[in-house]
Amino acid sequence: MNRLTVLGGGSWGTALAMVFAPRFDKVSLWTYEADLAREMSAERENKVFLPGFRLPPNIEVSSNLKDSLSDANIVLGVMPSTVLRQVYVDAKPFIPPNAPIVSATKGIERGTQKRMSEIIREVTGRDRIAVLSGPSFAREVARGEPTLVVVASEQLALCEEVQKAFTGPTFRLYKSNDPIGAEIGAALKNVIAIAAGICHGLGLGSNAMAALITRGLAEITRLAVSMGAQPGTLAGLAGLGDLILTCTGELSRNRRVGTELAKGKNLDEIIGSMRMVAEGVENTYSAIELARRQNVSMPIAETLYAIFTEGKSPYDALRELMERPAGLEVV
């Protein structure tokens, strides 16, 4: 039996389980919350994180890691970045020896500044690890709208294996040998998206948004390249494509955080009102740690960091960003 295990029952995990269901005999969708697993099994719908979509009959929902991972041919991780390490610690004894691990979690671990695939390798001791990233809102994937993403690994044979397993009529994968670029692009676009939300909330127009996305991409590229990424990766789906989507799309949770900050709301208040995780908040702190370690300039991220840690108003922070000394355009 061809079996996929999806670790993470949020909106993104549920959407991926749905779009991949026709490609597998069975899809096991694991969620931490036992009550949510029971409700999804009974109602055949994730009413908490992805309401309005019926689960295909071959999706089995469980909160039991051992049962969910039993006989898995591929393991797909879609949990929030802040719990990824612990989930893999708990899952390690049950992951089948030959099953590759595909990470669709976007983030950098605070404190260690490690990418998600680095944590997975450290915790599990596995080498067959790939990264899935690209412009992809969960609701649009669940609706069956055309979506193009990247699967990245230093092992191109593994990319081809995942590409063959996951590609379908509405979900197309391109392969890449640059997991560093794919993961840094995925994590940092959420940071820039909060800044984009601030621009939107302050009522700024298209000029400001275009400038923010362009300079945001320059920041992300500088950091990624300093870590060994290929510049071209950041110009593709896992970089520019995902950045445009998250900065401009109405479904972007990170953009919403910025919009609410611009209205004068407190960050804790905003986060407390959201059922789903906005990874860009945590990743702002991680990005600053990483940028300082790599000695890379990231003025947009530094501005957000000042808003979060110094209580600086979004308007004043934006004004200070604009008043920085001008120089050569460096990408």
**Burial category of 137 from C-beta neighbours within 10 Å (exposed 0-12, middle 13-18, buried 19 and up):** buried
How confident is the model over 113-169, as pLDDT tens digits? 999 999 999 999 999 999 999 999 999 999 999 999 999 999 999 999 999 999 999
Domain contains 330:
no
Beta-ladder partners of 98? none
Domain tally, the chain: 2
283: tokens are 């990743």
Final residue of a domain: which of 177, 204, 233? 177
pLDDT band at 329; cut points 50, 70, 90: low
- Between CA 58 and CA 177 the distance in angstroms is 32
Final residue of a domain: which of 177, 206, 230? 177
Domain contains 63:
yes
Beta-ladder partners of 268? none
- Between CA 261 and CA 276 the distance in angstroms is 17
pLDDT band at 9; cut points 50, 70, 90: very high
Q: Where are the beta strands (DSSP E) in the chain?
A: 3-7, 26-30, 45-46, 50-54, 59-62, 74-77, 101-103, 129-133, 147-152, 171-176
Domain contains 329:
no
Same domain flag for 272 and 184? yes
Q: Considering the chain, what is the average pLDDT of its residues? A: 94
Of 26, 114, 175, 189, the catalytic one is: 189
Final residue of a domain: which of 177, 211, 230? 177
Same domain flag for 228 and 156? no
How confident is the model over 183-223, as pLDDT tens digits? 999 999 999 999 999 999 999 999 999 999 999 999 999 99
How confident is the model over 70-99, as pLDDT tens digits? 999 999 999 999 999 999 999 999 999 999
Is 106 annotated as catalytic?
no
Domain contains 145:
yes
**Burial category of 121 from C-beta neighbours within 10 Å (exposed 0-12, middle 13-18, buried 19 and up):** middle
Same domain flag for 252 and 115? no
Same domain flag for 16 and 32? yes
Domain contains 247:
yes
Same domain flag for 227 and 101? no
299: part of which helix (H) or strand (E)?
A: helix 299-310
What pLDDT score was predicted for residue 317?
82
- φ/ψ (deg, to 5) at 219: -65, -50
What is the percent of the chain with per-residue pLDDT over 70, rounded to a whole number? 97
Which residues constitute the domain of residue 124?
A: 3-177
Same domain flag for 28 and 145? yes
pLDDT band at 7; cut points 50, 70, 90: very high
Same domain flag for 35 and 53? yes
CATH assignment of the domain containing 69: 3.40.50.720
Domain contains 296:
yes
Nearest Cα residue to 67 out of 94, 45, 87? 94
Same domain flag for 79 and 148? yes
CATH assignment of the domain containing 315: 1.10.1040.10
Residue 250 CB neighbours (<10 A)? 8
Same domain flag for 254 and 125? no
Beta-ladder partners of 62? 30
Domain contains 214:
yes
Same domain flag for 109 and 222? no
Same domain flag for 227 and 289? yes
Q: Tell me the mean pLDDT in the region 294-306.
A: 94
Q: pTM for the whole thing?
A: 0.94
Same domain flag for 38 and 170? yes
Give the side-chain half-sphere CA count within 13 A for 17: 37
Domain contains 328:
no
